[in-house]
Structure 1
Amino acid sequence: MNTIIKTDFNFPGQTDVYKGKVRDVYTLKNNKLVIVATDRLSAFDVVMPKGIPYKGQILNQIATKMMEATRDLVPNWLEATPDPNVAVGQACEPFKIEMVIRGYLAGHAAREYKAGKRMLCGVEMPNGMKENDKFPEPIITPATKAEQGDHDEDISKEEILKRAIVSKEDYEILEKYTRDLFKRGTEIAAKRGLILVDTKYEFGKNADGEIVLIDEIHTPDSSRYFYADGYRERHDKDEPQKQLSKEFVRQWLIENNFQGKEGQILPEMSDEYIESVSERYIELYEKITGETFVKSDISNIETRIENNVLDYFK
């Protein structure tokens, strides 16, 4: 199937381009950004060689809906989505950390806990927990924002302030925004029969010095969801949770002896497997938004994107 895994646009007034793991960010004059959500799939900080059909559209459209649903709580960078894969908004100076918040002992936190650690990013995790237990209160476990190709690293609030990565005043705003967004995301998920397990938020300062939410929120790439129905029964039986997130890709890679470590060989993704990943992403879109996913025309994605963006800026 046709996917978009690399872009090479030259929009009017373009001054810079940055290629992230999944998104390509085009900077234009007048503090405008055009962010193209590609179909690239990243896991363990490694970009897979094949794209996932409709993944970029799904991420972009979920993020757009979630930005609109939280704008009353936290200002954000987004101004328009002129194409299913494209978001346009204000350029911001990003903070060099990701605000990770966890409501449950899952994923990275569970792996650390299983290894015997009880402190994560300077936050104590209670003894006697088992995987997928709910924390008494959601915990914030920040990560340093990796430069391209590097791994994100856990970091404590104390270390962030000590190294002056973020000022104390700004960090307190980031903490408040993170908790407010997670609470709203949890409420939205609950209405759809889902549990928002953990997620990450990124923030920046706009040209006016205002702290705003940037990047994506509450998507399967940035968040982990469990199905609420059957959660307790599965948990009591120590069975894996039914989940909608990128974790199923990570688990498949682990089963195929790959965790992004040196010397490990990336397993081959068959067309059938890629199709199944695409279907899982569509399932999450429909579950989290409560709407039927409408597949965009992918016969010539690059031309479609270029025409839509140019029309928007006319």
Structure 2
Amino acid sequence: MNAIKDIAFNFPGQTNHYKGKVRDVYSIDEDLLVMVASDRISAFDVVLPKGIPYKGQVLNQLAAKFLKATEDICPNWLIDSPDPNVSVGKRCEPYRIEMVIRGYLAGHAWRTYKSGERVLCGVTMPEGMRENQKFPEPIITPATKADEGHDEDISREEIIAQGIVSEADYIKLEEYTRKIFQRGTEIAAKQGLILVDTKYEFGKIGDEIFLMDEIHTPDSSRYFYADTYDELLEADQPQRQLSKEFVREWLMAGGFQGKEGQTVPEMTDEFVQSVTDRYIELYEKVTGEKFIKADVSDPVNRIQKNVEACLAGLKV
């Protein structure tokens, strides 16, 4: 299948192109961004060698839905999604941090806890917790946003002391983060899911804060199935989950955690198909809608035409 992996576009009015781990971001004129969600997949801050067909479409369409579902809480960057893999929006000046919020002791938080640490990003985690247990209330554990390499944990106090974000803005970011997470939790619950943890990115236009990038997708979030959560927790069994964690687990089982000298295990066609299936499963479970696969016979031409038509309409 035609995975959209490494494609460079040239759109009208284009002034810059930034290639992220998963998304290609094109600056248009002075105030617009075109964000193309590729089928690249990353784990441990490393882009894996093979693309995952339809992954970018899942990410883009989920993000667009959740941005629209939370725009009453916080203004966001999205203007239009003219193609299954593309969003067009306002260019913001990004904060150099990610706002990570965790409702449950899972993933990175659990690995930290299991090592004996009880403080994560300046937040003290209660004693006596087990993996995947719910926190008394969600905790915010920010990370610095790295252009390359690993994002790093950082505390609220360090962010403010280093002048990365002003105290007044950071208080607002925390407020938005908690409210958006609560909305995502409510939406997930209606679909029989638990929103475990997620991350948000914010930026500014003038003095106004905007929610940016993607939200509540399998790349930025972790979901558990609610119907078996209590039973599996009591039995100390792994949770049934919809997230990218199974890819990380597959890599770790193959001896890879993104460290120097380690090699990514072979990505067989069967494994790639299983990842595609999991992303589509998550889309359908989270939205309650059937996933409609885009035409991938000529994705380059499709994306180019759809973006050009959108940009022409915005300039009228």
TM-score range (shorter-chain normalised) is over 0.9
Match of 1:199 in 2: 198
Instruction: Kindly indicate whether residue 71 of structure 2 is the aligned counterpart of residue 66 of structure 1.
Output: no
Residue 191 of structure 2 aligns with an amino acid whose one-letter code is R
Structure-to-structure mapping, 1:3-152, within 5 angstroms: 3-148=3-148, 150-152=149-151
Match for 1:276: what amino acid? S
> How many corresponding residue pairs?
312
Counterpart residue number, 1:173: 172
Q: Deviations over 1:51-103 (max 9, x none)?
A: 00100000000000000000011100000001000000000000000000000
1:164-194 CA-to-partner distances (Å, cap 9, x unmatched) read: 1000000000000000000000000000000
Residue 154 of structure 1 aligns to a residue whose secondary structure is coil
CA RMSD after TM alignment: 0.6
Deviation of residue 209 (structure 1)?
2.5
Q: What amino acid maps onto 1:293 in structure 2?
A: F
- SS at structure 1 position matched to 2:306: helix
Shift of 1:50: 0.5
| Residue 190 (structure 1) aligned with residue 189 (structure 2) | yes
Structure 1 residues 224-235: aligned runs within 5 Å: 224-235=222-233
Structure 1: unaligned runs, 5 residues or longer: none
Partner of 2:295: 297
Query: What residue in structure 1 maps to residue 153 of structure 2?
Result: 154
Structure 1 stretches of 4+ with a deviation exceeding 4 A read: none
CA offset at residue 311 of structure 1?
Answer: 1.4
Aligned partner of 2:105: which letter?
Answer: L
Partner Cα separation in structure 2 for residue 165 and residue 68 of structure 1: 28
Give the TM-score normalised by structure 2: 0.98
Q: Which runs of 5+ in 2 are unaligned?
A: none
| CA–CA distance in structure 2, aligned partners of residues 279 and 45 of structure 1 | 22
Q: CA deviation at 1:30?
A: 3.6
State whether structure 2 residue 271 is matched by structure 1 residue 273: yes
- Partners of 2:102 and 2:175 lie apart in 1 by 14
2:30 and 2:44 map into 1 onto residues whose CA distance is 35
Tell me, in whole angstroms, the C-alpha distance in 2 between the residues paired with 1:35 and 1:258. Answer: 30
**Which amino acid counterpart does residue 247 of structure 1 have in structure 2?**
E
**TM-score, normalised to structure 1's length?**
0.99
Is 2:305 the partner of 1:311? no
Cα distance in 2 for residues equivalent to 1:11 and 1:174? 33
Q: How does 1:254-269 map to 2 (within 5 A)?
A: 254-269=252-267
Matched residue, 2:243: 245
Among all aligned residue pairs of Structure 1 and Structure 2, give the percentage whose two residues are the same amino acid: 67
Distance 1:93 1:76 in 2: 13
Q: Distance in 2 between matches of 1:147 and 1:307?
A: 29
What is the Cα deviation at residue 7 of structure 1? 1.9
Q: What amino acid is the match of 1:306? A: Q
